[in-house]
């Protein structure tokens, strides 16, 4: 089962394998892309609503990798759907790919190169320079903004 992100509809992705998506993807699409979504739904595309337990698990994994702030609700639910359906996630979104990799969910990219490796991001304060494993809105020490940093 291939689980399609909005980019799959925008770039007219095609496969002969069974496909699925989540209802929230439809809300992100406009014009021809929305028409493609509707046409595929009408011709048998499975609409999957993941269990809340799985959504929480995906959010926890995204928090651990440092990608949670980068993911929309739709993104989280797409990864959850691919996880539950033991499917292949079709997306160009790097943060989704990173979380999927952490959860051993297969990913197929559309228009871009996929990620080279799974990363667990750290966050560095722009003021005092301290590093944190978890994302905060502001540095708990000095109050400055944090930026995502590759831990390499």
The region of weakest confidence among 41-45, 61-65, 125-129 is: 125-129
Model confidence band, residue 139 (pLDDT cutoffs 50, 70, 90): confident
* pLDDT of 151: 61
* Domains of the chain listed by start with CATH number: 2-108 (3.40.50.1010), 121-152 (2.20.28)
Q: Which residues contact 4 (CB under 8 A, 6 or more apart)?
A: 13, 19, 20, 21, 25, 45, 90
Report how far residue 40's alpha carbon sits from residue 47's, in angstroms, rounded to the nearest whole number: 10
* pLDDT of 131: 78
Angle at 128 between CA 94 and CA 99, to 5 degrees: 15
Q: What's this model's pTM, rounded to 2 decimal places? A: 0.74
Residue 118 pLDDT > 70: no
Report how far residue 110's alpha carbon sits from residue 11's, in angstroms, rounded to the nearest whole number: 8
Angle at 12 between CA 1 and CA 6, to 5 degrees: 65
Q: Please state, rounded to an integer, the average pLDDT across all residues of the chain.
A: 87
Report how far residue 97's alpha carbon sits from residue 110's, in angstroms, rounded to the nearest whole number: 12
* pLDDT of 120: 66
* pLDDT of 31: 85
Beta bridge partners of 34: none
* pLDDT of 105: 96
* pLDDT of 150: 66
Residue 25 pLDDT > 80: yes
């Amino acid at each position: 089962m291939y689980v399609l992100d909005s980019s799959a509809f925008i770039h007219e992705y095609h496969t002969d394998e069974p496909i699925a998506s989540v209802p929230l993807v439809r809300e992100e699409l406009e014009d021809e892309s929305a028409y493609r979504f509707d046409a595929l739904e009408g011709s048998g595309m499975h609409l999957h609503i993941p269990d809340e337990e799985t959504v929480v698990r995906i959010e926890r994994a995204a928090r651990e990798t440092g990608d949670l702030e980068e993911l929309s609700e739709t993104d989280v639910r797409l990864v959850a759907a691919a996880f539950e359906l033991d499917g292949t996630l079709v997306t160009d979104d790097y943060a989704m790919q990173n979380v999927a990799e952490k959860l051993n969910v297969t990913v197929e990219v559309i228009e871009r190169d996929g990620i080279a490796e799974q990363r667990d991001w750290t966050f560095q304060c722009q003021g005092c320079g301290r590093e944190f494993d978890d994302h905060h809105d502001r540095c708990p020490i000095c109050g400055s903004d944090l930026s995502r940093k590759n831990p390499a």
